[in-house]
Amino acid sequence: MNAARGLLGEYMIAGKKIVIGALVPTDFVPLYGWFNDVAAVRLDGIFRPVNLASHLQWCQNIGNDPTKVMFAIRRCGDAAIIGYLNISSINGVHRSADIGIRIGEEENRNQGFGKEALRLGLDYCWKHLNLERVALTVFSKNARAIHVYRAAGFKKEGTLRRYCFVDGEWIDTVIMAAFRPSPRKIRKSAAGAVHAAAGQDAMTIAV
Ligand SMILES: CC(C)(COP(=O)(O)OP(=O)(O)OC[C@H]1O[C@@H](n2cnc3c(N)ncnc32)[C@H](O)[C@@H]1OP(=O)(O)O)[C@@H](O)C(=O)NCCC(=O)NCCS
C-alpha cells in the first residue's frame, strides 16, 4: 500500500487518481453542504437537515469512535475534498463492518474516483482492520452505485422489499457484501497500488 503526504503533513493512502486520508478542518464546510444536499441524500437515506453546530460537533468527534473510520477523498496532488468514504459498525468479534461512499458534486462523478476510492477502502479493511466481511446497502434503483460496487468486488446478497420510505415512495434496498480475498490476492493488490502510484506524486512513499 502506498502513502502520500497531505498539505498538513498527514499521511494518505494513494491510488492512481485519488488519495484517501484524514479529514482536516477545511473539509467540514463542503461536508456540511453535502450532508444537506437533498438530491444526493435521496439516493441513500432519509433527508433531515443537519444544523451547523451538530455537524461541527460530529466532525470533532468522528475520530474518537473505534467502530468508525472516515476518509476524505481527494484528487492526487489537490488538497480539496471531493468526497468521503465511511467505514462503520466495525466489529472485532465478527471481523465485519459496513462501508459507504459519496462523491460530493455531480461534476466529479463518473470519472473513476468512486471506484478507485472503494478499492482503496476495501484494501484498508483487509490490511489494516483485518476484516473478513464488508457490507453495504444500496437502493435498488441506484444503478450507478450498484455498478460501481460490483466492479469493486461486492456481490448481491438479497433485497429488502419496501424497506425505506423516501421522498414519497417505498424503496427496495439491496444488501451487498465483499469478503476477505486470499492472502495472495491481498499481496497482489498491494503490488498494484505501488505500481499505480509510482511517479504520480513526488511525495508518494511506500509504507
Ligand atoms: C455512486 C458513486 C459513489 C460512484 O462514484 P463515481 O466516482 O461516480 O463512480 P465511477 O466514476 O468510479 O464509476 C461510475 C461507473 O458507473 C457507470 N454508470 C454511470 N451511470 C450509470 C447508470 N445510470 N447505470 C449503470 N452504470 C452507470 C459508469 O459507466 C462507470 O462504470 P465504468 O467505469 O464501468 O464505465 C457516486 O456517483 C456518488 O456519490 N453518487 C451520489 C450518491 C450515491 O449514489 N451514493 C451511493 C449511495 S449507496
Give the H/E segment covering residue 71.
Answer: strand 69-75
Which residue's CA lies nearest to atom 10 of ligand 1?
112
Structural domain includes residue 110? yes
Indicate which CATH number applies to the domain containing 80.
3.40.630.30
Query: Would you say 84 and 72 are in contact if contact means Cβ atoms under 8 Å apart?
Result: yes
Task: Kindly give the distance from the C-alpha atom of residue 53 to the centroid of ligand 1, in angstroms, as a whole number.
Answer: 31
* 160 within domain boundaries: no
Whether the CB-CB separation of 121 and 153 falls below 8 Å is answered with no
Number of domains in the chain: 1
pLDDT at 132: 98
Q: How many CA atoms lie within 13 A of 89 on its CB side?
A: 10
Residue 124 forms part of a structural domain: yes
pLDDT confidence tier of residue 197, bands split at 50, 70 and 90: very low
CB 101 within 8 A of CB 144: no
In whole angstroms, how far apart are CA 108 and each of 74, 124, 158, 195?
11, 23, 30, 24
Domain range for residue 35?
2-129+182-206
Please tell me which of 111-115, 163-167, 200-204 the model is most confident about, judged by mean pLDDT: 111-115
150 lines ligand 1 (CB under 6 A): no
Q: Is 102 in the pocket of ligand 1 (CB under 6 A)?
A: yes
- The closest of 123, 91, 89, 92 to 20, measured between CA atoms, is 123
142: in domain: no
Of residues 193 and 79, more confidently modeled: 79
Residue 3: the pLDDT is 77
Is 82 among the domain residues? yes
Render the burial of 122-148: b for 16+ CB within 10 Å, e for the rest: bbbbbeebebeebbbbbbeebeebbeb
**Residue 139: inside a domain:** no
Q: Is 176 in the pocket of ligand 1 (CB under 6 A)?
A: no
Question: In this predicted model, what pLDDT tens digit does every residue of 179-193 receive, in sequence order?
Answer: 999 998 888 775 444
Residue 145 lies in a domain: no
Q: pLDDT of 41-61, one tens digit each?
A: 888 888 899 999 999 999 999
Q: What percent of the chain shows pLDDT beyond 70? A: 90
Active-site choice (84, 124, 149, 163): 149
Q: Is residue 10 in a domain?
A: yes
Q: Which of helix, strand or coil describes residue 120? A: helix
